[in-house]
């Protein structure tokens, strides 16, 4: 096994660049003060917005192995299209089998931030309900893709998370959307489908990586954009 094959960006460069540009636009809105108050209401100081988004993008190239499935014929060095998004399959040599890993940018960072927001905003019941709703929907849309693992249409998690957040907690729609979009996607698309990974020929089945990273990342963007919707009403006693 080549250690370097575990670490790669899950999306092809045009799609990764598009996410980076979108993140820069959102950061610009925060820095200009357009979303400053609303983002503070979310529970994350504006000065940390850039760091969180940047770490998520850079962390998407880092996979922490946690398990290994039996050897099989591997797909290697390809770009796989799914719902218009192009995912990267790393080049492998003498790969022993599918390595199950946790993606830093698409799983570890979102989980830690979600737990922080859940505690800070004290939305335990609403959080569980929103995460469950997103998990159930994404599980229905999750699809096994050979060479990649489990994938879900990019806009399903953030849109469902936004709807659930506005329905369950208008005044806290922003943090609730991030929590639901991140945890719901990881549970519904990745964790509930671990049993379907065997036989897909994916060198690395990354939880929060290829197939779900774009949905998780966009959930964070949608959460920020939801902030000004709830903020004016949140100011009222």
Spell out the residues 6+ positions from residue 156 whose beta carbon is closer than 8 angstroms to its own.
Answer: 137, 138, 141, 215
Average of pLDDT values for 226-233? 55
Average of pLDDT values for 62-78? 71
Q: Which residues of 134-162 are buried (b: 16+ CB within 10 A; e: fewer)?
A: bbebbbebbbbbebbbbbbbbebbbbbbb
Phi/psi zone of residue 233: left (φ > 0), alpha (ψ -120 to 50 degrees), beta? alpha
The answer on pLDDT for 125 being more than 70 is: yes
The answer on pLDDT for 77 being more than 70 is: no
Quickly count: other Cβ atoms within 10 Å of residue 120's Cβ.
12
- What Cα–Cα distance (Å) separates residue 87 from each residue in 20, 90, 174, 218? 16, 10, 28, 16
Average of pLDDT values for 192-197? 88
Amino acid 36: pLDDT: 57
Q: Is the pTM above the cut of 0.85?
A: no
The answer on pLDDT for 145 being more than 90 is: no
The answer on pLDDT for 49 being more than 80 is: no
Spell out the residues 6+ positions from residue 30 whose beta carbon is closer than 8 angstroms to its own.
Answer: 36, 39, 46, 49, 224
Amino acid 217: pLDDT: 87
Average pLDDT, the chain: 79
CA torsion sign for 118, 58, 104, 208 is positive
The answer on pLDDT for 60 being more than 80 is: yes
Distance CA 208, CA 167 (A): 26
- Structural domain containing residue 202: 3-234
Amino acid 74: pLDDT: 54
Domain count, the chain: 1
The answer on pLDDT for 73 being more than 80 is: no
Average of pLDDT values for 131-156? 89
């Amino acid at each position: 096994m080549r250690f370097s094959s575990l670490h790669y960006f899950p999306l092809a460069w045009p799609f990764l660049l598009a996410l980076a540009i979108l993140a820069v636009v959102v950061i610009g809105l925060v820095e200009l003060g357009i979303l400053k108050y609303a983002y503070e209401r979310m529970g994350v100081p504006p000065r940390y917005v850039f760091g969180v988004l940047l770490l998520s993008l850079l962390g998407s190239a880092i996979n922490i192995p946690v398990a290994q499935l039996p050897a099989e014929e591997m797909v290697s060095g390809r770009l796989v299209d799914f719902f218009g998004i192009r995912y990267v399959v790393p080049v492998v040599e003498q790969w022993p089998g599918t390595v199950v890993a946790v993606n830093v940018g698409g799983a570890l960072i979102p989980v830690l931030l979600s737990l922080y927001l859940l505690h800070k905003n004290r939305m335990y019941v609403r959080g569980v309900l929103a995460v469950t709703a997103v998990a159930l929907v994404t599980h229905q849309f999750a699809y096994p893709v050979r060479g990649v693992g489990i994938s879900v249409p990019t806009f399903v998690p953030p849109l469902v998370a936004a709807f659930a957040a506005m329905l369950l907690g208008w005044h806290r729609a922003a943090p609730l959307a991030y929590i639901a979009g991140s945890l719901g996607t990881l549970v519904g698309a990745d964790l509930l489908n671990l049993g379907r990974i065997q036989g897909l020929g994916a060198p690395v089945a990354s939880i929060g990586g290829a197939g779900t990273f774009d949905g998780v990342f966009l959930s964070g963007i949608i959460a920020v954009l939801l902030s000004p919707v709830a903020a004016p009403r949140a100011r009222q006693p």
